A and B are shown apart, each in its own frame.
Chain A
Amino acid sequence: MSEHPLDPIFHPRAVAVVGVRSNPNTGMMGSFYDSLLEADFPAIGGLYPVNPKMDELNGARCYASLLDTPDPVDHVISQVPAKVVPELVDQCIAKKIRSIHFFTAGFSETGDEEMAGVEEAMIAKLRDAGIRAIGPNCMGLYVPASRLAFMSGFPSESGNVFLLSQSGANAGEIVSGLVARGVRFSKAISYGNGADLRAHDFLDYAANDPESEVVAAYIEGVQDGRAFFDALKRCAAVKPVIILKGGRTQSGSQAAHSHTGSLAGSIEVFDAACRQAGAMRAETMDELHDLVVAASTSTRLVTGRGVALFGGGGGGFAVLSADAIDREGLKVPQMPTSAVAKMREYIPVAGSSVNNPIDAFPPEEHLEDMLRLVATAEGIDMVFMSPMTGWRRPPPGAKISDANKPADEPTDAENATKAAQQMFDLQKDTDTPVVGVVRSGRMARMMGQDQDAMSEAAYRKGIGIYPSVARAARTVAQMLEWKAYRKGLPDIF
């Protein structure tokens, strides 16, 4: 909870879903009533379905009108058709609600001037009544602590990441993608057209929200650039902010007017605004995911460029990995002679390399010593570790999984826990950040790596896991660049 004027929106005492659907299986998007039941909102307060065509919904009373529901109702989710929205707005004002989320679409985003006018008029009316609006044309709120969720399957556990997204589907993809990486959210908002509340309002809230430590945003267009820039500056001054900008618009008219304008469209200016404010720019959905993981784990603590790559995978894998690391401006320093000599004692096996990248796994009794030797070697600022918790022996042609594993082999979850502990201990003992890398496909399975299980287990120990060496390297390089251009701003790590 915070003192911010928007805070009550995230903590409604009761919610009405107006225009609730009779059949919850009509699609994943828009089954708000069911998502709220699944999130157990009734443990917090009243959840009222409203639809004049039904008396009952799965055994619960369904109200004919918002005005029939018990008092108070703080938050309304509108699923009614656009043409009846004006009537609903009047009811909301009479009901003295605090906020309304319009899943309802068909307003300004259609390009239809009449509907844009309707949108403007209804927002003005709500504002006059002191009611804030989210949307139209969006998925609304996911606030685990308040048991609000806009899709099914979202965790009820809270976390430190605040998400704002103009797109509802992308909000869903970011939440579920990051949940699989171990991340949990303080709040996630899909705000669509942003007719009332928009990016700068949510950034301002996030800046002041003690529950939010990392801020991620998916933005397609900024309605009020100046307010956005100012809010971004305030937020990025105190927290890592990662922005994925969709829709690379070219300001063609501006280009025609002037020499300087013709040199660049507004996407360059948007990027410059992010830099100037001290925010991070993600180019793709994958980068957004990786940077959020990095900002929430020890990856953020990396200060130098020297990488020790540790983990089996073969000589070719080691070569390609070294290329990927170097390509991002990081280094793979040679191990000191004394360290190499020591490692040879642990691994006398021919064909394995004990220089860097270290393409070898020592016998279990030497693993700890060898890892510490590598992590503390001169010129090493971080360890990229692809944990091998034990070879699985798949029968030829068979898929490897918990289901068909030999009884004496550990489960994915056991492997993940063990690997996370290994990485955590190494980092703790040596003060060298550990950056986890999992392999994909059959190789991962053979190495005992289950991507989701390992990501989640490591994340809970404060260690970031990335789906490839290239992505780990890119993420570290982006973090280093971001820290460099933040110089002169408050230190937030």
Chain B
Amino acid sequence: MNIESIVAQARAEGRSLLSEIEAKEVLHEAGVAVERAVLATTIEAARTHAEQIGYPVVLKIVSPDISHKSDIGGVKVGLEDADAVTAAFDEIMRNAKAAVPDANITGIAVQHMAPQGTEIIVGMTTDPQFGPVVMFGLGGIMVEVMKDVSFRIVPVSERDAAQMIDEIKGKAILDGVRGQPPLDKAAIAKAILAVSEFVEHNPDIQELDLNPMMVYAEGAIAVDARIALSG
């Protein structure tokens, strides 16, 4: 499905938030490296998808009524085989129903589990003065506690993307500390530029987060994605 029809469907359903599966689909089409997710409504379907995607996999609840998936036990990671998928599927459903009894549950998303890398965030927000703005920062504690992020106004040029990456205080981490190889800054820049281009051409988008995105010595991939449409 393309962005127009996904946005149209969300609007028709009165949603301003795309589901994770939808968000990842449109980002994938826009050329952003994401771990795509497939919806399963039954255990059998989840097992089939897991076989096709390849283990290990992650299962996550999909529900318009549940936004903080991890908090209610709606996410299971590191599932290595079909039995683990079966057990996780049941558990997630039980947890979701216990936490939000009235929740409308769409199903469960199955995705490949990307190996642990250095976590970064690439995001976009709509500034009241300047309009769409792209943000970059290191993930986890660096972004939450240190607020170590950089911004640029859309459209972002290659020069801007390179500066955003170099501007953060924790940039030494990207250059490789304690004998670690340097991380793939070109892959980060590519994600920043792809997000900029995507939001530039889709003014419906109010906010967007790739959080976290895993960066490696070679390559980078977003493992979670969130897109909010303008009101």
Least distance between A281 CB and chain B CB atoms (Å): 13
Interface: A25 (CB within 8 A): no
Name B147's contact: one of A261, A263, A266, A276 (CB within 8 Å). Answer: A263
Question: Which residues of B sit under 8 angstroms from A260, Cβ to Cβ?
Answer: 121, 123-125, 135, 149, 207, 209
Chain B contacts with A in 79-95, Cβ cutoff 8 A: none
B119-135, CB under 8 A of A: which get 1 and which 0?
A: 00101111111110101
- Interface 0/1 of B170-198, CB less than 8 Å to A: 00000000000000000000000000000
CA separation between A268 and B147, bound complex, in Å? 11
Closest chain A residue, CB of each to CB of B226? A259
Interface residues of B in 13-57 (CB under 8 A from A): none
**Residue pair B207, A258 in contact (C-beta under 8 Å):** yes
Chain B's nearest CB lies how many Å from the CB of A260?
Answer: 4
Are A270's CB and B209's CB within 8 A? no
* Of A259, A273, A275, the contact of B123 (CB 8 Å cutoff): A259
In whole angstroms, what is the CA distance A226 to B131 when docked?
7
For the residues of B in contact with A, the DSSP-based class is: strand
Say whether chain A's binding surface is mostly helix, strand, loop, or mixed: helix
- Determine the distance from Cα of A210 to Cα of B185 in the docked complex, in whole angstroms: 41
The smallest C-beta distance from A490 to any residue of chain B, in angstroms, reads 12
Report the count of interface residues on B (CB-CB < 8 A): 28
Does B66 count as interface, using CB distance less than 8 angstroms? Answer: no
With both chains docked as a complex, state the minimum distance between the C-beta of A382 and any C-beta of chain B, in angstroms. Answer: 25
A251-B127 in contact (CB<8A) = yes
Q: Is the CB of B228 within 8 A of A222?
A: no
Give residues of chain B (126-164) contacting chain A, Cβ–Cβ below 8 Å.
126-131, 133, 135, 137, 143, 147, 149-153, 159-160, 163
A-B contact count (CB 8 A): 75
A264 contacts B209, C-beta separation under 8 Å: no
Q: Is the CB of B153 within 8 A of A261?
A: no
Q: Which residue of chain A has the shortest Cβ distance to B162 in the bound complex?
A: A488
A254 and B127 form a contact (CB under 8 A): yes
Please report which residues of chain B, range 200-231, place their CB below 8 angstroms from some CB of chain A when the two chains form the complex. Answer: 207, 209, 211, 228
**A269 at the B interface (CB under 8 A):** yes
Say yes or no: is A390 at the interface (Cβ < 8 Å to chain B).
Answer: no
Q: Are B127 and A269 in contact (CB under 8 A)?
A: yes
- With A263-B135, A276-B152, A276-B153 as contacts: A258 and B228 at CB distance below 8 Å: yes
Chain A contact residue count (CB 8 A cutoff): 26
A276 vs B128: C-alpha distance when bound (angstroms): 18
Tell me, yes or no, whether A229 is within 8 Å of chain B by CB. Answer: yes
In contact, B211 and A259 (Cβ under 8 angstroms):
yes
Cβ contact within 8 Å between A259 and B209 = yes
Bound complex: CA of A266 vs CA of B125, how far in Å?
11
Q: Which residue in A225, A264, A489 is a CB contact (below 8 Å) of B130?
A: A225
User: Across the interface, do B127 and A266 meet the contact criterion of CB distance under 8 Å?
Assistant: yes
| Chain A residues, CB < 8 A from B149 | 260, 263-264, 268
Would A270 and B129 be within 8 Å (CB), given that A263-B135, A275-B163 are in contact? yes
- Closest residue of chain A to B124 (Cβ to Cβ) is A260
A391 CB within 8 Å of chain B: no
Q: Do A269 and B133 touch (CB < 8 A)?
A: yes
CB B231 to nearest CB in A, in angstroms, measures 10
- Contact, CB under 8 Å: B207 / A272: no
Q: Please report the C-alpha to C-alpha distance between residue A259 and residue B224 in the assembled complex, in whole angstroms.
A: 14
User: Is the pair B133, A272 in contact by a Cβ cutoff of 8 Å?
Assistant: yes
Q: How far is the CA of A254 from the CA of B132 in the complex (A)?
A: 13
Complex contacts, B207 vs chain A, CB 8 Å:
257-258, 260-261
In the bound complex, residues from chain B placing their C-beta under 8 Å from that of A251 are 127-128
Q: B211, A225: Cβ atoms under 8 Å?
A: no
Given A222-B129, A269-B127, A272-B133, check contact A264 B151 (CB 8 Å).
Answer: yes
Contacts of B126 in A (CB 8 A): 254
Which A residues are within 8 Å of any B CB, using their own CB?
A: 222, 225-226, 228-229, 251, 254, 257-261, 263-264, 266, 268-270, 272-273, 275-276, 485, 487-489
Subset of 30 A-B contacts with CB under 8 Å:
A225-B130, A226-B131, A251-B127, A254-B125, A254-B126, A257-B207, A257-B228, A258-B209, A259-B209, A260-B124, A260-B135, A260-B149, A260-B207, A263-B137, A264-B135, A264-B149, A264-B151, A268-B151, A269-B127, A269-B133, A269-B151, A270-B129, A270-B130, A272-B133, A272-B152, A273-B130, A275-B163, A485-B163, A488-B159, A489-B159
Please name the 4 residue pairs, one residue from A and one from B, whose CB atoms are nearest each other, closest first: A225-B129, A272-B151, A260-B123, A225-B130
| Other 14 A-B pairs with CB < 8 A, given A254-B128, A272-B133, A272-B152 | A225-B131, A251-B128, A259-B209, A259-B211, A260-B123, A260-B209, A263-B149, A268-B149, A269-B129, A269-B151, A270-B129, A275-B163, A276-B153, A488-B159
